Amino acid sequence: MLWKTITLGATAVAIGLCGLCDASPALAEQRVALVIGNSSYQHAPALANPRNDAADVGEKLKRLHFELFGGQDMDRAAMLAALTAFGRAAEKADVALVFYAGHGLQINGQNYLVPVDANVGYEAEADIALVPFNVVMQQLNRGSSINIAILDACRDNPFAKDLSRTMGTRALGALGRGLSRAPSVSGSFIAYATQPDNVALDGSGRNSPFTSALLKFIERPELSISDLMIEVRKEVISATGGKQVPWDSSSLTGRFSFRVEGTVDIVPEGTQPVSTPQPPSSPRQQVDSKTLEFSVWNEIQNSGERSAFEKFLADFPNGVFAAAARGRIAALSAPSGAPAGRPEACSHASVIDDNFAKAAASAGIAHGVTFSAGPNGGASFSRRRESRIVYPYARTGLPRTGTLEWLINVSSGYSYSAGKLAERTGCALIFTTDIQNGDVTWPGSAWLYVCNNGDIRFHIAGAKYEAGGKPEYRLEVKGTGFRYGDWHRIGVSYGNLGRAIMLDGVTVASDANMTQTLGAGGTHTASVDDPTIGESVSGFWPNNQHEGGFEGTVARFRASDTQQDWCVSR
């Protein structure tokens, strides 16, 4: 491999010449990479690892047939020059990759990479002094079919103090921690050293925890980039004791592996194969298995590869998502063109009312609900009938921890506030555990809202008025495919193993640390806490904003004492 160096100011920019691109006939695709590591900042704290991170990643990428652009300790002019050269090469490439290690920050949700000469004291100067990440993405997506951005830059904003002083109160919502989640265009994969709005660790060894894990797995044969990130995530969570959880956002339309069996490694003339430097051995910190499982599941839940779920099940055979993984394996094993059908049985299932036979036959449980048979039948709810179905814990055995599911078609929502009715609202309350809502802060009271714009919210109140009280637990997801007038499968899990929201067979939001149990955690145990589908009305708390209900049909309702035991189908 031949190299040349051009000098811009005081900064060296290394641009690789692909003299051996034809050395591996088995690798027909053309690969280019921009690799930058900034450590020696002039107006911000120096960072120990980025120079090493970029150097070691660059050596790996050379061996994997990438033509390299970039350098170390680059000022803004040098970064833009390297980015321009890289963008032109990306137009003719099959695979384009950007790796950046150094300071990064977000302002008003926009991410920026920080050159070594940057000094930002005013919001209006950000685009001038920094390198906007959207500019990097524009160059990355100039023509290649596979575009990969890897950012080991989720550190504290080094200019936060000066920006806060000049921005005033606007800084409160504008200056987030780490990096925000950037949108990705089709064919792109963006990997972050840690989850959005969090800060990554720099590490005490030669490399950061994130780059160390990346170097360890990047050359593993036939490992897809999605599976690579799963391995990296597990490694980093283990190395940091769960403090850092690598994240990614993918819109790839095909499978990509850095190393394919049958290719030949390229070793630059006069050099020896590079072995990944490892930090001194030390006792591994214990990993929070729930956090690890949730992270891995978030990565694979939308996968169409059965092997991903089989590996997940092997790693977490008794985990929160084990039943869901079995269901995905069964669905992906169905013959081509044949529907997967309804799961035979849910493990540890406690079916409460799968077809509303109990609700229809039991006096005092259903109020104002009509029942109908047929493919679109079920329990019909209407505001005019004050429709609701109550499931008393004592009579139905509804589990205090587990999973609830609905097969539902919502036509509209309604709500009450200070005695006034609002109809045809954009959001609808479909479930509560406090039919009269005597006080929304009683622990264990829960509300599930669905909105016509795709937002879904699941709240469980904490013990606000009690000693050591906890705040309200909230899990929310925005912009899903839920819409009024369509049939959807909606599920929520709750209790000691964490919280999740499912929509149409996919977990769309989850938090392993949200562990409040329905109807538990305080002294309020009156019957008004019985779980209820439909209208929630208060006769003595007129300003309660949680009052309301929905109009529509529920075709199925079931409960399981095992979380993530999603089983409802139509």
The domain ranges of the chain are: 2-271+279-287, 298-341, 357-560
Encode pLDDT of 183-194 as tens digits. 666 788 999 988
Mean pLDDT of 343-362: 66
Which residues, 6 or more positions from 519, have their beta carbon under 8 angstroms from its beta carbon? 393, 400, 433, 444, 525, 529
Better-scored residue on pLDDT, 528 or 537: 537
Return mean pLDDT, the chain.
74
- Contact (CB, 8 A) for 35 and 72: no
- The per-residue pLDDT for 273 is 41
> Which of 37-41, 138-142, 265-269 is predicted with the least confidence, judged by mean pLDDT?
265-269
- Contact (CB, 8 A) for 491 and 403: yes
Is the CATH number of domain 2-271+279-287 3.40.50.1460? Answer: yes
Q: CA 449, CA 462: separation in Å to the nearest integer? A: 18
- The per-residue pLDDT for 338 is 36
Is the CATH number of domain 357-560 3.50.50.60? Answer: no
**128 vs 157, 163, 172, 180, 454, CA distance in Å?**
17, 15, 22, 20, 37
Encode pLDDT of 453-463 as tens digits. 899 998 877 65
Q: Which two tokens stand for residue 559?
A: 């409960």
Report the candidate in 266, 259, 140 with the shortest Cα–Cα distance to residue 191: 140
- The dihedral region occupied by 197, where left means phi > 0, alpha psi between -120 and 50, and beta the remainder, is left
- Contact (CB, 8 A) for 182 and 115: no
- The per-residue pLDDT for 519 is 60
Angle at 415 between CA 414 and CA 419, to 5 degrees: 135
pLDDT bin (cut points 50, 70, 90) of residue 261 is low
SS3 per residue for 547-568: CEEEEEEEEEEEEECCCCCCCC
Encode pLDDT of 18-62 as tens digits. 433 333 433 457 999 999 999 999 988 888 889 999 999 999 999
Q: Which two tokens stand for residue 501?
A: 């929201």
Q: CA 187, CA 16: separation in Å to the nearest integer? A: 25
- The per-residue pLDDT for 167 is 45
> Which of 54-68, 213-227, 282-296 is predicted with the least confidence, judged by mean pLDDT?
282-296
**260 vs 148, 243, 263, 265, CA distance in Å?**
17, 33, 6, 10
- The per-residue pLDDT for 469 is 54
Encode pLDDT of 421-445 as tens digits. 888 888 999 998 754 444 444 556 7
- The per-residue pLDDT for 145 is 87
Neighbours of 84 (CB within 10 A): 12
> Which of 78-87, 267-276, 278-287 is predicted with the least confidence, judged by mean pLDDT?
278-287
- Ranges 46-50, 258-262, 529-533, most confident: 46-50
Residue 64: phi and psi, rounded to 5, are: -100, 20
> Which of 104-108, 245-249, 512-516, 547-551 is predicted with the least confidence, judged by mean pLDDT?
512-516
- Residue 418, pLDDT above cutoff 70: no
Q: CA 469, CA 522: separation in Å to the nearest integer? A: 9
Which residues, 6 or more positions from 359, have their beta carbon under 8 angstroms from its beta carbon? 353, 365, 366, 369, 371, 379, 389
- Residue 289, pLDDT above cutoff 80: no
Q: CA 330, CA 345: separation in Å to the nearest integer? A: 12
- The per-residue pLDDT for 203 is 67
Share of the chain above pLDDT 70, in %: 65
- The per-residue pLDDT for 115 is 93
- The per-residue pLDDT for 52 is 94
**401 vs 350, 444, 518, 563, CA distance in Å?**
11, 11, 7, 8
Mean pLDDT of 259-265: 57
Report the candidate in 173, 359, 152, 349 with the shortest Cα–Cα distance to residue 244: 152
Q: How far apart are the first and last CA of the chain?
A: 60
> Which of 218-222, 350-354, 393-397 is predicted with the least confidence, judged by mean pLDDT?
393-397
- Contact (CB, 8 A) for 531 and 398: yes
